[in-house]
Amino acid sequence: MGSPARPAIPAQQGDPRRPAGLTRFNAVATGVAEELLLSCCHSHRWAERVAAHRPYPTLDALLAAADEAGYDLSAADLEEALAAERPAAPHPDAPPAAHTALRAAHAAYESRFGHAFVISLDGVRPAERLDQVLAGIRSRLGNEPEEELAIAADELHRLARARLAHHVAVLATPAGASGMR
């Protein structure tokens, strides 16, 4: 049984529930929307599903749809998404020892689990991010592979959500709007 049709809610000037970037995202060609979505989470199934349900009446509705699509990923879809993730580098001002420690921690994680370490750092101050990543890797290295895959999937959902919200905000700017055709 299909989902009920989503009512179209006209954008109102200054309506924070429907930012200009969301209006632009809803209006672009499906392939363009899917490319933007793939930059948030590199699962083709996820991107196709989220793009197919446009238009979204609010940013919250878009993010809820992204969450729902993320929780429905198969193991193969999740592997596809995780394979595209790359470890974040420490801040350029970090000392060389931090770069070395982070590379070693990422290598140990990837050797154990076969994919990049993913963690959402939303809300973490930039000065604390390196410590957060290193602590996360250390604590998660002891997980069983199935448990770690579930944790990585949750972190990937958080990352995709934050990336998508960021992209919608960028689309509201003249530079962001001109880049999405």
pTM: 0.82
Q: What is the pLDDT of residues 87-115, one digit of tens each?
A: 877 878 888 999 899 999 999 999 999 99
One-letter amino acid for residue 177 of the chain: A
What integer is the mean pLDDT of 15-40? 88
Please report, rounded to a whole number, the percentage of residues in the chain having pLDDT higher than 70: 86
Cβ-Cβ contacts under 8 Å for 32 (sequence gap 6 or more): 180, 181
**Residues 22-30: contacts with CB within 8 Å, 24+ apart?**
22/56, 22/58, 22/59, 22/62, 22/168, 22/171, 24/171, 24/172, 24/176, 24/177, 24/180, 25/54, 25/56, 25/62, 25/167, 25/168, 25/171, 25/180, 26/54, 26/55, 26/56, 27/55, 28/180, 28/181
> Shortest CA distance to 180 belongs to which of 50, 10, 14, 32?
32
Give the span between the Cα atoms of 33 and 7, in whole angstroms.
Answer: 20
Give the span between the Cα atoms of 174 and 154, in whole angstroms.
Answer: 33
Q: What is the pLDDT of residues 43-56, one digit of tens each?
A: 999 999 999 999 99
Q: Where are the domains of the chain?
A: 20-79+161-178, 87-153
Query: At which residue do the structure tokens 């770690």 appear?
Result: 148
